């Protein structure tokens, strides 16, 4: 396996980069990453190391609600002013909340970046959180929760998560529940922001078609003047991977049955294992010629949809296989999946299939990081969740170093029948 520095160098070369990204840690603890990249745009993103896993149970949904409230202005930026400025110059802005981070971003033409970036910094680090806007936006969030519950696949996956991560923060919905969100208060949100939105938890990433010195000259002065608030509480998180074994059936208003099989697996802190599980997911069900897609969909025609994913959080993860099929086909589909899982544990991956996997991973990595926004997402994500961008840059090299024996051992260790959970959603009889 290559050393991290060699991996970064190799991936910089494969992505057409002459210089690696510049990384600075300011005196207040904020990490700033900057890189020049052709593309006629600049993407600026702020990543807070705060997501739904950091909420207490009685505040589930607070991180997502706060993401909404950031855009409601403050004493210096009136409601709607930021969005108007961005749209006036043809830019775009948005945000997202996950279990482990909240991301805010703006993309503009290079000449407009110096005007809008300081506004985003001010909104994120010093939102107004006005009580009147809080009450209005609560209704927007509640409607988003209701819409999510209207989608059968969302209901199914939420049940899968609740069973797989029972007792852990990952089991809770990122949006929260209507019951909890209805009880949240502006004062509680102020306290949550003070605890979790300190500059020491912030990663700022700027990638685009300007010299790095210019990119840094715009954002660093605005960031370094911010001082920390209350220290964030320590959130203990169980580290061991616990075997998962459950089976549940639910009846829902669907035309076809849905089946999800899942296994609790290591998280990003065990990055080599995550890469091996990602590779197994690709072999099984990503692409037309992957094993399960080819047999279940193209050869037998039993399924109308199939997904195989290794979902990785920092502390733990979930490897899952989901299919959509006629209820009558469920037993046969389950038998085929179990045969393929046993084959992974009993037989090494053939050399030709392994070579194909490595080429696909390398190509996907390049194609997924062609724009400033995509590159900024790569840097921001890994710096926020792992405190290091090297694993992200070295991902193709790590996969390329995987041997058939390692993949077989990974399947034997984590993807066993004894550790498998299952949830079936059936149409009404």
Give the tokens for residue 140.
Answer: 């927007």
pLDDT of residue 130: 97
| Residue bearing tokens 């193209």 | 298
pLDDT of residue 232: 62
Q: What is the pTM of this model?
A: 0.92
Cβ 330 vs Cβ 254: under 8 Å: no
Strand, helix or coil for residue 263:
strand
Count CA atoms within 13 Å of residue 398 on its CB side.
20
Strand, helix or coil for residue 184:
coil
Give the tokens for residue 8.
Answer: 């970064």
Give the tokens for residue 225.
Answer: 């003047």
pLDDT of residue 247: 87
The closest alpha carbon to 176, from 190, 189, 195, belongs to 189
Note the pLDDT tens digit of each residue in 122-172: 999 999 999 999 999 999 999 999 999 999 999 999 999 999 998 889 999
Phi and psi angles of residue 57, each rounded to the nearest 5 degrees, phi first: -55, -35
pLDDT of residue 10: 47
DSSP assignment of 29-83 equals: S-EEEEEE--SS-EEEEEEES--GGGS-GGGTTHHHHHHHHHTT--SSS-TTHHH
Pairing of strands 316-325, 257-266: antiparallel
Q: Which residues contact 424 (CB under 8 A, 6 or more apart)?
A: 248, 249, 250, 257, 258, 259, 330
Note the pLDDT tens digit of each residue in 305-359: 999 999 999 989 999 999 999 999 999 999 999 999 999 999 999 999 999 999 9
Low-confidence ranges of the chain (pLDDT < 70): 1-18, 228-245
Cβ 282 vs Cβ 290: under 8 Å: yes
Render the burial of 3-25: b for 16+ CB within 10 Å, e for the rest. Answer: ebeebbbbbbeeeebeeebebee
Our CA dihedral for 309, 311, 316, 320, rounded to 10 degrees, sits at: -40
Cβ 36 vs Cβ 82: under 8 Å: no
Cβ 256 vs Cβ 328: under 8 Å: no
């Amino acid at each position: 396996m290559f050393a991290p520095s060699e991996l970064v160098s190799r991936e910089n070369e494969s992505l057409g980069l002459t210089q690696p990204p510049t990384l600075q840690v300011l005196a207040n603890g904020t990490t700033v990453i900057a890189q020049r990249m052709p593309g006629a745009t600049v993407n600026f993103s702020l990543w807070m190391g705060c997501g739904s896993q950091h909420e207490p149970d009685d505040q589930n949904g607070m991180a997502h609600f706060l993401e909404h409230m950031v855009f409601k202005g403050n004493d210096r930026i009136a409601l709607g002013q930021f969005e108007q400025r961005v749209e006036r110059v043809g830019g775009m802005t948005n945000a997202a909340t996950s279990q482990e981070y909240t991301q805010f971003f703006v993309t503009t033409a290079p000449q407009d970046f110096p005007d809008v970036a300081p506004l985003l910094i001010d909104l994120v680090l010093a939102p107004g959180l006005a009580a009147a806007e809080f009450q209005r936006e609560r209704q927007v969030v509640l409607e988003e929760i209701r819409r999510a519950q209207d989608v059968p696949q969302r209901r199914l996956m939420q049940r899968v998560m609740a069973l797989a991560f029972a007792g852990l923060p990952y089991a809770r919905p990122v949006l929260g529940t209507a019951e909890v969100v209805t009880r949240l208060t502006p004062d509680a949100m102020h306290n949550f922001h003070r605890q979790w939105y300190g500059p020491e938890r912030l990663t700022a990433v700027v990638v685009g078609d300007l010299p790095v010195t210019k990119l840094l000259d715009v954002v660093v002065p605005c960031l370094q003047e911010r001082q920390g608030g209350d220290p964030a509480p320590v959130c203990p998180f169980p580290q061991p991977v616990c075997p998962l074994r459950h089976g549940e059936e639910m009846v829902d208003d669907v035309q076809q049955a849905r089946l999800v099989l899942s296994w609790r697996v290591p998280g990003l802190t065990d990055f080599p294992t995550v890469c091996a599980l990602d590779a197994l997911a690709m072999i099984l069900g990503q692409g037309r010629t992957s094993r399960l897609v080819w047999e279940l969909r193209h050869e037998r025609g039993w399924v109308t949809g199939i997904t195989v994913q290794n979902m990785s959080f920092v502390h733990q993860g979930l490897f899952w296989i989901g299919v959509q099929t006629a209820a009558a086909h469920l037993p046969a589909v389950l038998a085929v999946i179990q045969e393929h899982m046993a084959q992974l544990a009993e037989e090494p991956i053939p050399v030709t299939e392994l070579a194909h996997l490595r080429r696909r991973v390398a190509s996907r990595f390049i194609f997924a990081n062609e724009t400033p926004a995509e590159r900024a997402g790569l840097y921001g994500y890994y710096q926020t969740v792992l405190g290091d961008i090297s694993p992200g840059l070295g991902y193709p090299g790590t996969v390329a170093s995987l041997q058939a024996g390692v993949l077989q051992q990974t399947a034997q260790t984590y993807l066993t029948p004894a550790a498998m959970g299952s949830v079936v959603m059936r149409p009404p009889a």
